[in-house]
Amino acid sequence: MFAIINIAGQQFKVSPGERVFVPKLSVPIGSTVKFDRVLLKADEKSVQVGDPYIKDTKVEAKVLSNLKDEKVIVFKKKRRKGYRVRRGHRQQFTELEIINIE
């Protein structure tokens, strides 16, 4: 069984017991989150497609941790002008464990 859900404008394919990294959510670690924006739900017997979402279907997940991705270096330069700028960025993620697809 798997489902495709919408979290923060991005689509993720999830199944029970799977760990997923999503954009940072403002919920405490260890809490349970339910996502009701389910676009598709499939199992061995049938497939349900939403219009745009499937009613009365939710995905339950547990928040494991908040962490950061590796640093991405942004380097800008204009030749012959002496202009050089070096900046870095680390994207923040939340790690979720999918518990149940209702």
The domain spans of the chain are 2-67+93-101
8 Å CB contact between 93 and 68: yes
pLDDT of residue 102: 87
pLDDT of residue 77: 98
Tell me what the mean pLDDT of segment 14-21 comes to: 96
Q: For 28-83, how does the pLDDT look when each residue is reduced to its tens digit (9 = 90+)?
A: 999 999 999 999 999 999 999 999 999 999 999 999 999 999 999 999 999 999 99
Which residues are within 8 A (CB) of 93 and not within 5 positions of it... i.e. 6 or more apart? 21, 22, 23, 24, 66, 67, 68, 69
pLDDT of residue 39: 96
pLDDT of residue 38: 95
State how beta strands 47-49 and 38-42 pair. Answer: antiparallel
What pTM does this model have? 0.82
How many of the other CB atoms lie within 10 Å of CB of 21?
A: 15
Instruction: Please give the angle made by the CA atoms of 98, 6 and 2, to the nearest 5 degrees.
Output: 45
